[in-house]
Chain A
Amino acid sequence: MLIGNQLSVKIKHKTLLDNIDFYVKPNEIVVIIGPNGAGKSSLMKALSGDLPLSGGTVNINQRELNEYSLLELAKLRAVLTQSYELDFPFTVNEVVDMAHFSHQEQCTQATLKQFSNDAMKAVGITHLAQQCFTQLSGGEKQRTQLARVLCQLQPSLTQQKNAYLLIDEPTASLDLYHQYEVMNQAVTTAKQGAGVVAVLHDLSLAASFADRIYMLDKGKVVAHGSPEEVLTQRHLSNVYNINAKLQTDIEDVLPHIMVAEKTLTNI
């Protein structure tokens, strides 16, 4: 399990996270939602060890995060961040291959290469393999990075180790097809045994794919549970100030958020 115990993050006098309890088990998808500035990315950074905590601990598989070396940690969890600074003309294939760094000693080159190819196939970028990363569109870049992150987890997952995938807004610059495609990929990864944590803005996507949802507001968890328990009219109104509800009962249709014509509750 990946557990956050009473996580608090304060920078100067600003509280980013206030006493948050969080966990994700293998085989499940946990989604973090919340309005802008609620602390979603901060929680993600706290869980991945990028943000120093002012209180609380993060545990992965019963050991505290700072007891791991960076190399050990890289085998247990992969992180997809929101922004990429890569301005050098690597090919897509080379970017995905960077995931091999922590696995070079255990796996043969051929195995790792196979993982890269599988990951590129899974997110549908095999045809881009020899192209320059810098010349791709935003969505293609995002899928390339996703392939890299998936590839990083494969060695651990095939050895049946508990590994975790943390993804921060994986669908931000994707078209509708690829949004669902990426989330399907998260489901596949979860089925392989990974615990997946995703920050999502799109509540319909969250309702469709999450096993559990954490709803954050002002650095606190305001609701936690199944999509039906979290995405209630009351919570949506209190946290997002919108008049909306979750619809789950149409046959052959994924759950989605219905927004009322008189949208804003505070007018």
Chain B
Amino acid sequence: MYSPTMRLTDEERITLEGGRGDALRKAMESVARFGDVFGADRLVDLDHGVHLVTSFGIPLLGPVFDMMDELIAAGLRTPEPFTVDPRPCDFANVPVGPIEKLIFTKVMYAKQKDYEAQLREVGLKDGKAFTCACYFDEVGNVPKRGDTLAWAESSAVVYANSVLGARSNRNSGVLELMCGIVGKAPRFGFLTDEGREATWTVELRTTALPEAQLLGSAIGMKVVEDVPYIRGLDRYLGTELDDRAKDYLKDMGAASASNGAVGLYHVDGLTPEAKDLGESLVRAGAKVYVIDDAEIGRVKAGYPMMWKDADARPSRCFIGCPHLSRAQLYGWLDRLEASLKASGRKRVAVPTVLTTAPDVAEAFRSDARAAARLEATGAALSSICPLMYMNNPLCGKKPVITNSNKLRTYTKARYYTDADILAIVTGGRS
């Protein structure tokens, strides 16, 4: 029997000793061992539903599916409904060729239906809960400041910690489900006040607001997994977390989490803890990273060219990794229309997919006029995970372009700024 280093309550100990069944014992032991590795002093109750990273039924995870069956057989489910990352396929809105489809359905994600059934059994919120941006109001997995969480999706973790002021570690896939099942998380890292202190200060000295995806990339590559305190961004974003600021921070955070491993950042004068605690969040001796226009340019120029033919015509464009907010969706619609008009085209020259949460897509489609306008541009609306799509080797080797630094990092997709993406998809420039 496992004897944890951390302090457990009597109730937790009974569970760990198997007093509430073997499956729950294993879940508790997984959480306790995980906490012990990272020096947790105790377990704390979760205040909010978990968000799972694994949304895809890839057959190689057979042993994980067996574990899910064990949880289900024991009647275990999370006390709060949970959300999960986006689905890997959407053939209606992101069509693929017959061989690509065969690989998706018979090889890569052959267990998709079975896995989704398992997710429902253990507490999935509903059939629309598939998004990386579970914190959108339309989706409803929105923690409050100070809430203890156990999330795994890196872009969601960094948003919850930084923008919402909730507290989650960057959990490994499945561990977040184990925490959800026992309703507790080990207290260490971002769950503690000291773990939220900044060990870097980032001085933003650009002449204009940088592209969120580039600023996040620069920060992630420099500080890797440390906590940065960013000065100078409030100059451009203001001091209120309005839709524009939240969307910017969503994309910046996702880039910092994927180009590095940032799980929390503070923005001076803007994010909740920075507004309340200010410079006291910065540890003595914090390292300094100055970002000016030249540094942003250096970072962007350093991205490797992953296409075999650098001059290839893009075969598809993904906009929305992480998923677009409702405001971003309408913003892209306006910009696509204006840019098409300016270039004298009626429809996009490159098959373009805007991705958003199913609940946001539903709300958008309920606006019949907006839906018709989008359809007229030729761009598609989907709730797919572009990253999972690109994992199909046949899809992954095609010349795909994106404005996502996360997608660039994990696949061969080529990154362009928003302005360049717009020019390419509406004007045919490549």
Bound together? no
Which residues in A have some Cβ–Cβ distance to B below 8 Å? none
